[in-house]
């Protein structure tokens, strides 16, 4: 990749779902190496944006370019509520590695290593479905991290967790970023956004109205919609 070339660039990204323009000509470039937090009121298009960038939703119009040359980045996505197989925590990570084509002999060691990095070694053999919400979310992060993604999309990963569990998930996300994975995450927790973000992308009505360094954004957002959002005047669309 050329120096400074974006990891990914979306141009005119439009997604119509059930007659709703969830994304409406959105432009976005993601430079390598940063942690991006996507903010915006409910219904602004945050989830659809992440799902579309991750390839789960096909754009109606517009394009997504990876690396300037079309090679899709190795990537993973974590959702608000993880879906776990009715098997052990370890087996859940091993399964993800199998699906990704990782050879069987190295799966267990890679899975155990990932569980260790999120602090779940002690529950490796326990059924994933009986883990607490916070443990399940860290398991989802281990499953994603084990794939060694270049970019990780996280859609409100702490929204259904209590503050303690949310803080643990936040620490893991920071560690994943520090280990070199590009982070693109949505949250409604502004404290969390301040702690984790290098830059903020603010969405309004299916468009990115600004993309600003995080410290500048919280001091002085550029778009009036973002200013209202920060003041809490736009909790709903
Ligand atoms: N499957 C769908 N069918 C119809 N409309 C949808 C669908 N998914 C999302 N939308 C609409 O697209 C818009 C953006 O949704 P979403 O990305 O989920 O917002 P956010 O995550 O910012 O709260 C909303 O108006 C939502 O109702
Ligand atoms: Mg959402």
CATH number for 157 = 3.40.50.300
Is residue 159 included in any domain, yes or no?
yes
pLDDT at 93 over 60: yes
Residue 234: per-residue pLDDT? 56
Residue 228: per-residue pLDDT? 92
Is residue 139 included in any domain, yes or no?
yes
Q: What is the count of structural domains for the chain?
A: 2
Residue 67: per-residue pLDDT? 87
Is residue 210 included in any domain, yes or no?
yes
Candidate of 16, 19, 22 to mutate for ligand 1, largest count of ligand atoms within 8 Å of Cβ: 22
What's the gap in Å between 211 CA and the centre of ligand 1?
21
Same domain, yes or no, for 185 and 123?
no
Query: Per residue in 179-229, pLDDT tens?
Result: 999 999 999 999 999 999 999 999 999 999 999 999 999 999 999 999 999
Domain that holds residue 164: 1-74+149-237
Is residue 81 included in any domain, yes or no?
no
Asked if residue 37 lies in contact with residue 187, where contact means CB atoms within 8 angstroms, the answer is yes
pLDDT at 5 over 90: no
Residue 4: per-residue pLDDT? 64
Asked if residue 88 lies in contact with residue 132, where contact means CB atoms within 8 angstroms, the answer is no
Residue 60: per-residue pLDDT? 98
pLDDT band at 85 (very low <50, low <70, confident <90, very high): very high
Q: Which residue has the higher pLDDT, 232 or 111?
A: 111
Query: Which protein residue has the closest C-alpha to ligand 1 atom 6?
Result: 17
The DSSP code for 31 is -
- The CB of 42 under 6 Å from ligand 1? The reply is yes
Point out the ligand nearest to the CA of residue 24: 1
Ligand 1 atom nearest to CA at 51: 17
Q: Which residue has the higher pLDDT, 233 or 60?
A: 60
Is residue 82 included in any domain, yes or no?
no
Query: Exposed (0-12), middle (13-18) or buried (19+): which is 52, by Cβ within 10 Å?
Result: buried
Same domain, yes or no, for 136 and 181?
no
Query: Which protein residue has the closest C-alpha to ligand 1 atom 14?
Result: 45
Q: How many helices (H) and strands (E) does the chain have?
A: 8, 9
Point out the ligand nearest to the CA of residue 42: 1
Ligand 1 atom nearest to CA at 44: 22
- The CB of 45 under 6 Å from ligand 1? The reply is yes
**Mean pLDDT of all residues in 96-102:** 96
Query: Which protein residue has the closest C-alpha to ligand 1 atom 25?
Result: 43
Asked if residue 195 lies in contact with residue 171, where contact means CB atoms within 8 angstroms, the answer is no
Residue 120: per-residue pLDDT? 98
Write the Ramachandran bin of 30: left for phi over 0, alpha for psi from -120 to 50, otherwise beta.
beta
**From 118-122, 176-180, 220-224, the region with the lowest mean pLDDT:** 220-224
Residue 1: per-residue pLDDT? 43
What's the gap in Å between 229 CA and the centre of ligand 1?
18
What is the percent of the chain with per-residue pLDDT over 70, rounded to a whole number?
Answer: 96
Point out the ligand nearest to the CA of residue 45: 1
What is the percent of the chain with per-residue pLDDT over 90, rounded to a whole number?
Answer: 91
- The CB of 119 under 6 Å from ligand 1? The reply is no
What's the gap in Å between 121 CA and the centre of ligand 1?
37
Same domain, yes or no, for 158 and 232?
yes
Same domain, yes or no, for 99 and 66?
no
């Amino acid at each position: 990749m050329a120096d400074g070339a974006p990891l990914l660039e979306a141009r005119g990204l439009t997604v119509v779902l059930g007659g709703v323009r969830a994304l409406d000509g959105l432009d976005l470039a993601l430079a390598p190496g940063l942690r991006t937090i996507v903010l915006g009121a409910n219904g602004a298009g945050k989830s659809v944006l992440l799902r579309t960038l991750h390839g789960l939703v096909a754009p109606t119009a517009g394009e997504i370019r990876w690396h300037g040359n079309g090679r899709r980045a190795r990537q993973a996505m974590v959702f608000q509520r993880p879906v776990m197989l009715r098997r052990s925590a370890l087996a859940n990570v091993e399964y993800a590695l199998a699906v990704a084509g990782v050879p069987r002999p190295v799966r267990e060691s890679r899975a155990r290593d990932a569980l260790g990095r999120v602090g779940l070694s002690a529950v490796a053999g326990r059924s994933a479905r009986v883990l607490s919400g916070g443990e399940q979310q860290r398991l989802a992060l281990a499953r994603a991290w084990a794939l060694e993604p270049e970019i990780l999309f996280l859609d409100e990963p702490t929204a259904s967790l209590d503050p303690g569990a949310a803080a643990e998930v936040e620490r893991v996300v920071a560690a994943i970023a520090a280990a070199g994975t590009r982070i693109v995450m949505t949250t409604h927790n502004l404290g969390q956004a301040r702690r984790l973000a290098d830059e903020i992308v603010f969405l309004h009505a299916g468009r990115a109205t600004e993309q600003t360094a995080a410290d500048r954004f919280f001091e002085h957002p550029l778009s009036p919609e973002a200013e209202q959002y920060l003041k809490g005047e736009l909790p709903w669309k």
